C-alpha cells in the first residue's frame, strides 16, 4: 500500500471512529471531544485531496469555533451523563435517526450513480458529459477574470470565490439572509431577558 493510501485509511478511521465514539459516548464532554476528532479527521481527508482551503475552513469554523461554543454551553449547563439521559426523548431521537439513515442512503445512492458518468469530467471537456451540462459553470467575461477558467477546478481560494459569487450567488444570499434573521432573533431574545432581569 502506498503512503497516501495509508494516510487516507488512517484519517478515514479517525473521522469514522470519532463519529461513532461521539454517538456512543456517555458524557457530553467526551462526545464533543470525539466530534472534534472526527472533524479534524475529515479536514485531513480534505488535505489529502489538496483542498487546503476547505480543510482549514473545516477546522477553523467547526472545530475551532462551533465546538468551542458547544463545549462552553455543555460546561456552563454542567450536563453530566445522567442529564443527557434524562433529556432523551425517545420519539424524537427515533425520528432523527430515521432521517439521518435516509440521508445517508440518498447520499450513497447519489454517489454510486452520479460519479460513474462524470468521472472523466474536467474543465475542458465539460460539455462532453451530458449530465453535468446543466451544472456547467457560467462563462466568466470580466477582464480581470481572464484566467478564471483555469481557476474553476483548482483548489485555490479564488475558485471558491468565483463559485460562491457567480454560480451560487442566490444560495449564498439566502443563507446570509437566514443568518441575519437568526441574528436578529437572538438579539430580540437576549434584549427581552435583560429587560426582565433588570425590571
Report in angstroms how near the CB of residue 14 gets to other proteins at its nearest.
15
CB 153 within 8 A of CB 123: yes
Question: Looking at 8, 12, 21, 52, which residue binds other proteins (CB under 8 A)?
Answer: 52
The kind and range of the H/E element at 50 are: none
Q: How far apart are CA 8 and CA 48, in angstroms?
A: 7
Task: Select the span of 11-19, 63-71, 126-134, 178-186 touching other proteins (CB under 8 A).
Answer: 63-71
Which grid cell is 153? 477546478
Task: Select the span of 55-63, 131-139, 176-184, 188-196 touching other proteins (CB under 8 A).
Answer: 55-63
Of 12 and 47, CB closest to other proteins: 47
Is 17 a binding residue for other proteins by CB under 8 A? The answer is no
**Of 122, 152, 155, 161, which Cα lies nearest the Cα of 50?**
155
Q: How far apart are CA 172 and CA 168, in angstroms?
A: 6
Number of residues near other proteins (by CB under 8 A): 32
Report in angstroms how near the CB of residue 192 gets to other proteins at its nearest.
18
Q: How far apart are CA 99 and CA 101, in angstroms?
A: 5
Question: Looking at 64, 80, 118, 166, which residue binds other proteins (CB under 8 A)?
Answer: 64
Question: What binding mask, one character per residue, do residues 72-111 give for other proteins by CB under 8 A, x or -?
Answer: x--xx-----------------------------------
Instruction: Note the Cα 180 to chain centre separation in Å.
Output: 20
63-69: long-range contacts at Cβ-Cβ below 8 A with a sequence spacing of 24 or more? Answer: 63/36, 63/39, 67/32, 67/35, 67/36, 67/39
CB 22 within 8 A of CB 60: no
For residues 147-166, which are near other proteins according to CB under 8 A? 147, 150-151, 156-158
- Residues near other proteins (CB under 8 A) are 2-4, 29, 33, 36, 40, 52-53, 56-57, 59-60, 63-65, 68-69, 71-72, 75-76, 143-147, 150-151, 156-158
Amino acid at each position: 500500500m502506498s503512503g497516501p493510501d495509508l494516510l487516507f485509511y488512517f484519517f478515514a478511521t479517525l473521522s469514522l471512529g470519532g463519529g461513532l465514539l461521539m454517538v456512543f459516548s456517555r458524557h457530553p464532554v467526551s462526545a464533543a471531544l470525539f466530534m472534534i476528532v472526527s472533524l479534524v479527521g475529515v479536514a485531513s481527508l480534505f488535505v489529502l485531496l489538496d483542498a487546503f482551503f476547505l480543510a482549514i475552513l473545516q477546522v477553523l469554523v467547526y472545530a475551532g469555533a462551533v465546538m468551542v461554543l458547544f463545549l462552553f454551553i455543555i460546561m456552563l449547563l454542567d450536563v453530566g451523563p445522567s442529564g443527557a439521559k434524562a433529556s432523551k426523548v425517545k420519539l424524537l431521537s427515533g425520528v432523527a435517526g430515521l432521517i439521518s439513515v435516509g440521508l445517508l442512503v440518498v447520499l450513497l445512492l447519489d454517489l454510486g450513480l452520479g460519479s460513474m458518468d462524470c468521472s472523466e469530467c474536467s474543465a475542458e471537456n465539460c460539455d462532453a458529459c451530458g449530465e453535468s451540462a446543466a451544472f456547467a459553470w457560467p462563462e466568466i467575461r470580466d477582464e480581470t477574470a481572464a484566467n478564471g477558467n483555469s481557476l474553476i477546478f483548482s483548489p485555490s481560494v479564488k475558485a471558491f470565490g468565483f463559485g460562491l459569487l457567480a454560480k451560487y450567488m442566490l444560495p449564498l444570499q439566502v443563507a446570509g439572509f437566514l443568518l441575519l434573521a437568526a441574528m436578529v432573533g437572538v438579539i430580540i431574545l437576549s434584549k427581552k431577558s435583560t429587560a426582565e432581569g433588570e425590571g
